[in-house]
Amino acid sequence: MTTDGHGSPRAGGDFYALAPRAGHGPVYLRLADGRRIRMPVHCWYGQPALADESVLARCVGPVLDVGSGPGRLCGALLGRGVFALGVDVAPHAVAHTLARGGIALCRSVFDRLPAEGGWQTVLLIDGNIGIGGDPRALLGRCLQLTAPTALLLVEVDPDDVEERCTARFEDLHGHESPPFPWARLGAPALHRVAEDLALSVTDQWTYGLRRFLALGRRNSASGPR
């Protein structure tokens, strides 16, 4: 999970600087209404899980991993000979990606990026559809970055939820990030957003408790893959 300078948890504080102080967890996403969601930080620092493998198998290079965190996905793709670039606003995350042999930029997805209009796959995994608190704006930006035949691979909330909220990261030691706008979408909500953007859902699948959708431009989508 990541965010960016368009109202992000790490715009005013590096989440991945917070996580190691807590021993890679527990770190929580605290919503404005008091709800607290534990973040699986240990998974982000580990190797890709089987659910992640189901995403990686659908990737066609070049791949842009938006909110790449410590780089487990883009690193795994590079190891398979698929070019992948991670983008994250957290310096600690980018440094970790580079240390493990990945390629990443410390930059917002809304900043100027390499090869705009040429990416064949964009990843929004680990809840990153919430970046900036505006999924329509985020997906619209991703469309600007991709080739006409590209896929957007998106992980959604397993529940039927559509929520824009304010949140912050916190641990059990009194450390917390500044508040930031965030969003949570389930599959039905993502279907509605996709429709508004002339995107088609070309594939959807679940793996354990995790749920994913593949989106393509309507004029280039040819049904489930």
Task: Label residue 140 by pLDDT band (50, 70, 90).
Answer: very high
Higher local confidence (pLDDT), 10 or 116: 116
The string of DSSP codes covering 63-100 is EEEET-TT-HHHHHHHHTT--EEEEES-HHHHHHHHHT
Spatial neighbors of 211 by CB under 8 A, at least 6 apart, are 155, 156, 157, 158, 186, 187, 204, 205
In CATH terms, the fold of domain 15-217 is Rossmann fold (3.40.50)
pLDDT in tens, 61-76: 999 999 999 999 999 9
pTM for the model stands at: 0.88
Spatial neighbors of 124 by CB under 8 A, at least 6 apart, are 66, 67, 131, 138, 142, 152, 153, 154, 155
pLDDT in tens, 13-63: 466 665 554 445 578 888 888 899 888 888 888 899 999 999 999 999 999
What average pLDDT does the structure give for the chain?
A: 88
Q: Quick one: residue 31, left, alpha or beta (phi over 0 = left, psi -120 to 50 = alpha)?
A: beta
Q: Determine whether 153 is exposed, middle or buried from the number of CB atoms within 10 Å of its CB (0-12, 13-18, 19+).
A: buried
Domain locations in the chain? 15-217
pLDDT in tens, 150-176: 999 999 999 999 999 998 888 887 888
CA distance 225 to 108: 30
Amino acid at 105: L
